[in-house]
Amino acid sequence: MATTVNNRVGSDAKVLQSYLGGKWQAGTEQGAALVNPTTGETVASASSKGLDLKAALAYSRNVGGPALRKLSYGQRAELLGKVADVLAARRDEWFEIGRKNSGNTKADASIDVDGSIGTLKFFAKIGSKLGDAHMLRDGGPMRLARDANFQGLHVGVPLEGVAVHINAFNFPAWGLWEKAAVSLLAGVPVLAKPATSTAWLAQEMVSAVIEAGVLPDGALSILCGSPSDLLDHLQLGDVVAFTGSADTGEGIRQHPRVREQNIRVNIEADSLNSVLLGPDVAPDSPEFGFFAREVMREMTAKAGQKCTAIRRILVPADKAQAAIEAIAGLLKTVVVGDPANAMTNMGPVVNMAQRKSVEEGIAKLRSQADVAYTAENFAPLDADIARGAFVSPTLLKARDSNHADVIHEVEVFGPVATVVPYRDKAEAFALARRGGGSLVASVFSGDAAFLAEAGTALGTTHGRVMLIDPAIGDSHTGHGIVLPSCMHGGPGRAGGGEELGGLHGLWFYHQRVAMQGSAATLTALSEKTVDPHE
Q: Which residues are catalytic?
A: 268, 307
**Dihedral, 451, 457, 461, 466 alpha carbons, nearest 10:** 0
User: Which segments of 280-424 does DSSP mark as H helices, in order?
Assistant: 286-300, 320-331, 352-366, 405-409
Interacting stretch for ligand NAP, rule CB under 6 A, among 176-184, 189-197, 368-376, 508-516? 189-197
The footprint of ligand NAP on residues 303-342 (CB under 6 A) is 307
Rounded distance between C-alpha atoms, residue 117 and residue 85, angstroms: 8
Rounded distance between C-alpha atoms, residue 99 and residue 357, angstroms: 21
168 binds ligand NAP (CB under 6 A): yes
Which member of 270, 294, 338, 498 binds ligand NAP (CB under 6 A)? 270
Report DSSP state, residue 319. G
Helices 320-331 + 286-300 axis angle, to 10: 50
183 binds ligand NAP (CB under 6 A): no
- Exposed, middle or buried: residue 333 (CB in 10 Å: 0-12, 13-18, 19+)? exposed
Rounded distance between C-alpha atoms, residue 50 and residue 63, angstroms: 22
Cβ distance 326 to 288 under 8 Å? yes
* Site track for ligand NAP across 460-499, x = CB under 6 A: ----------------------------------xx----
Interacting stretch for ligand NAP, rule CB under 6 A, among 88-96, 111-119, 167-175, 296-304? 167-175
> Closest CB to ligand NAP among 3 and 226?
226
DSSP string of 453-501, one letter each residue: HHHHHHHTTEEEEEEE-GGGTTTS--TTPPPTTSEE--SGGG-S--EET
* Site track for ligand NAP across 193-212, x = CB under 6 A: x-xxx---------------
Interacting stretch for ligand NAP, rule CB under 6 A, among 80-88, 145-153, 188-196, 310-318? 188-196
Q: How many helices (H) and strands (E) in the chain?
A: 17, 24
> Closest CB to ligand NAP among 100 and 306?
306
429 binds ligand NAP (CB under 6 A): no
Number of residues that bind ligand NAP (CB under 6 A): 28
252 binds ligand NAP (CB under 6 A): yes
166 binds ligand NAP (CB under 6 A): yes
* Site track for ligand NAP across 434-453, x = CB under 6 A: -----x--------------
Smallest separation, CB 519 to ligand NAP (Å): 43
List residues bridging with 42 in a β-sheet. Answer: 35
The footprint of ligand NAP on residues 393-412 (CB under 6 A) is 411
> Closest CB to ligand NAP among 136 and 307?
307
Report DSSP state, residue 63. I
Cβ distance 312 to 418 under 8 Å? yes
Cβ distance 438 to 389 under 8 Å? no
> Closest CB to ligand NAP among 315 and 410?
410
Which member of 38, 104, 248, 438 binds ligand NAP (CB under 6 A)? 248
Interface residues with ligand NAP (CB under 6 A)?
A: 166-171, 193, 195-197, 226-227, 243-245, 248, 251-252, 268-271, 307, 411, 413, 439, 494-495
